Amino acid sequence: MESRIPTSNSRLGFMFSQFSRCYFKVALIIIFSILVLASTFLEYQSGVFYSRSQFTYFTVVLDCGSTGTRVYVYEWSINSLTSQYLPKLMRTYPDDSKKNPGRDGSCQYHCMQTEPGLHSFVLDSSGLIKALEPLLQWAERQVPSERHGDTSVFLLATAGLRKLPSENVNWILRNAEDLIRRHRFVYKESSIRVLSGQEEAYYGWVALNYKMERLGRSYKVPTLGVLDLGGSSLQFVMETDASREDTHSIKSQIGLFEYQILARSLQAFGLNEAFEKTIALLANSQVLSGNISNGFQLKHPCLSTGFSMNYSCYDCLQSNLTVKGASSGELRSNLSTLIYLVGDLHWEQCQHITRFAAINSSFMEFVTGTKLNLTSLPVARFHALSGFFAVYSVTNLTPRANLTLLVDAGRQLCSISWLELKKLYGNRKYVERLCFQVTYITSLIDDPLHMGSVEIIFGPGDVSWTLGAVLSEGKNMLKNPKAQASSFIFKNMEVFLSSPILLFTLFLWFFIVILWARFRCTMASVEGVPGKKGAAVEASIPTFMHSTRQSNNILFASEQNR
């Protein structure tokens, strides 16, 4: 039998097979190297390249309320490696630890403000400028100048403008926008507007739960309810069960989870409007004495004995009220100087009138219509903010004090004379109303809300609905997890490609691997060709070739023996 000598075609095919196997192995090595380098980079990025994956931005919010206009500046940080679908709040300006020229005794908690509210400047351009320009200039000083061009500004008005006619509101917003346009901050048309009561309430809920780290987690936790008291309105917000849907409910997707939220804003239940309500009640139950030019005297049981002042109350007197010696037309044209308030402190009467101010038909329709069972809802506890916190802070009680202690603190405040009250709280705005304010918030919690047995914490004082508005409306909104994941990939790819050291290392590694592969595959193809001799060649031949060569040797030996 003749031995079979390999042809040139079989040698070429064998060499091609050797090349293919060799380069397949090289490709696997390269892919594995890329994966190792990428994973090492991501780990290393949290250290040396941390600053590249993290960036900050600023937002400015003008809160145009009924008592004044406040400005807040927020500094945010987003880290693509550690983000939980929400930006991280780094700082809030003004800071309570610093002395600010725009703060005085009238600003009780974390604010820089001008007074009065913007609703007082209808058709008054100079007054509007004086109210807004100092706040915008102050905000510019808090934001680095090179960041002004990418800093968003919001002007959001609440109850003070909600009660104005639409033409007056449009005039104020249009002129406010003209003023903002003179600054380098950026804004959208929708960023300058009047919030609905429900929006204001919802933003307060977002702000509190973000601040208390109840949002943006990988697992859902019970949220916190909000009681937010302003000058004109009261906000009541809480998470409800998913089956509940009505006109006051909001479905909100925040991070990984959807929330069903009951958000209600109750007009005329703010501290200032409630006080005017008590004056209206007293004016219709007392015999007024005096005359139009000097004002009519009105005794108030919630004002300290020895206190007196002229009080402008434009809507306090009912149309059926008659005053001896004054016609109805004369009476209504002089409402701003009509009432001369006199303190006539009486604790029980003060309790009675504040309770009456806290309850009316519209409030009771809300409470009875909602039919809430607070114990069955996913609410950990309630926090009382803004006006609640500002009033509560004068009692020196702990944030978790119960209703009984609050009532006792109110009784003690209502026993202090006007002179002593001024010594204790002289720089505070509306210091003469402290007795009324403490008694009123007690009445709100106990009577219409029926929350005397519910855990309520007063504060924190630095939480404002403006924080929730920025989170919801800013350019970095409450992000969808898929969008966040996509952003993570692209952002790290940018960092990966922008690192010269990493790219040089990567190309050097590929160059070495390619040189080695070329040498190794060339040697393998030469050593593996059939017919080559040598010990080294034998060592490099695949195992299946050994059996073939052994059979050929046996046949050749047998032919020689013949």
* Contact in structure between 231 and 270 (CB atoms under 8 Å): yes
Neighbours of 170 (CB within 10 A): 12
Q: Cβ neighbours of residue 467 under 8 Å, at least 6 residues apart?
A: 72, 74, 89, 92, 203, 206, 207, 210, 211
The answer to whether 534 is annotated as binding is: no
Q: Is 232 annotated as a binding residue?
A: yes
Residue with tokens 């393998």: 524
Read out DSSP for 297-358? Answer: EEEETTS-TT-EEEE--TT-S-TT--BTTB-HHHHHTTGGGTEEEEE---HHHHHHHHHHHH
Q: Is 429 left (phi over 0), alpha (psi -120 to 50) or beta?
A: beta
Which residue in 75, 199, 200, 473 is the catalytic one?
200
**CA 327 to the chain's CA centroid:** 53
Residue 297 is assigned to a ligand binding site = no
Cα–Cα distance list, 144 to 57, 139, 149, 386 (Å): 10, 10, 10, 29
Q: Is 2 a catalytic residue?
A: no
Q: Please report where in the chains the tokens 């009238």 appear, as a residue.
A: 106
198 among the known binding-site residues?
no
Tokens coding 481: 């997890």
CA distance 76 to 91: 7
Residue 234 in marked binding region: yes
* Cα separation, 470 vs 62, whole angstroms: 11
User: Under a CB-based contact definition with an 8 Å cutoff, are residues 343 and 432 in contact?
Assistant: yes
Number of Cα atoms under 13 Å in the Cβ half of residue 384: 25
Q: Nearest CA to 102 among 129, 137, 77?
A: 137
Annotated binding site: 231-235
Catalytic positions, written as ranges: 200
Annotated binding site for ATP: 231-235
